[in-house]
Chains A and B, each alone.
Chain A
Amino acid sequence: DAGVTQSPTHLIKTRGQQVTLRCSPISGHKSVSWYQQVLGQGPQFIFQYYEKEERGRGNFPDRFSARQFPNYSSELNVNALLLGDSALYLCASSSLGEQYFGPGTRLTVT
């Protein structure tokens, strides 16, 4: 069975630009969460979606937004990119209380 998939793998953007990251959960999983992992730190919770509804939001500015589609895939959008947004963005899908992480998208903002 396919695990959580994310695209793209790597991305380089310029300050002020906008970016969209994509995630496909494990088949049958209805919940998707997004995390930001800055180099040398643990992942920080950004959003959780369940059945297309936002169920929680971490301490991130309104520049960060997300949505979940009817097929349970999800997109994370970040507007007006800052240098500090450079990080590994992880998507996790969950079932029965366990979260399964994708390989991440490495975003570099220059």
Chain B
Amino acid sequence: GDSVTQMEGPVTLSEEAFLTINCTYTATGYPSLFWYVQYPREGLQLLLKATKADDKGSNKGFEATYRKETTSFHLEKGSVQVSDSAVYFCALSDPSYGGATNKLIFGTGTLLAVQP
């Protein structure tokens, strides 16, 4: 079945360092890809998305490019801040699922800790 694999954490960086969190996926169709962020004691928030190959999603300085050839959707940010400390989830929408909205399949999450 469809699945998402992302790098294990925690990832610990100093402020202003470059961030990469790897994400690869397995899907039978043509999924949409997402990055969600979960801050402490808060719900999941959509960070960015891409709906087709070569699309680049971006938001708040974060970027990810949908790479069909490598089945990847790596999250990057050029200069992290302490306020970026959170758990990041890569997810795909299941293209084989019918209904009003495709269900989301999540990776296990990567904890990012940014130190001042």
Contacts and interface: CB of A to CB of B under 8 A. Distances in A.
Interface of A: 4, 30-31, 33, 35, 40-45, 48, 50-51, 55-56, 58, 90, 92, 94, 97-104
Contacts of B99: 48, 50, 55-56
Given A56-B97, A97-B32, A45 B44 contact: no
A50 B106 contact: no
A94 B43 contact: no
Given A100-B46, A102-B43, A30 B100 contact: yes
A55 B100 contact: yes
A104 B43 contact: yes
B91 A42 contact: yes
Given A42-B89, A43-B106, A90 B101 contact: no
A55 B99 CA distance: 6
Interface residues of B, number: 25
A97 B103 CA distance: 10
Contacts of B106: 42-44
B13 to A, nearest CB: 21
B20 interface: no
A40 B38 CA distance: 12
B108 A41 contact: yes
Contacts of B103: 33, 45, 48, 56, 58
A79 to B, nearest CB: 23
Interface in B2-49: 4, 32, 36, 42-46, 49
Given A43-B44, A104-B43, A99 B98 contact: no
Of the listed residues B4, B36, B98, B103, the one surrounded by the most CB atoms of chain A closer than 10 A to its CB is B103
A50 B103 CA distance: 12
Contacts of B44: 43, 90, 92, 101
Contacts of B108: 40-42
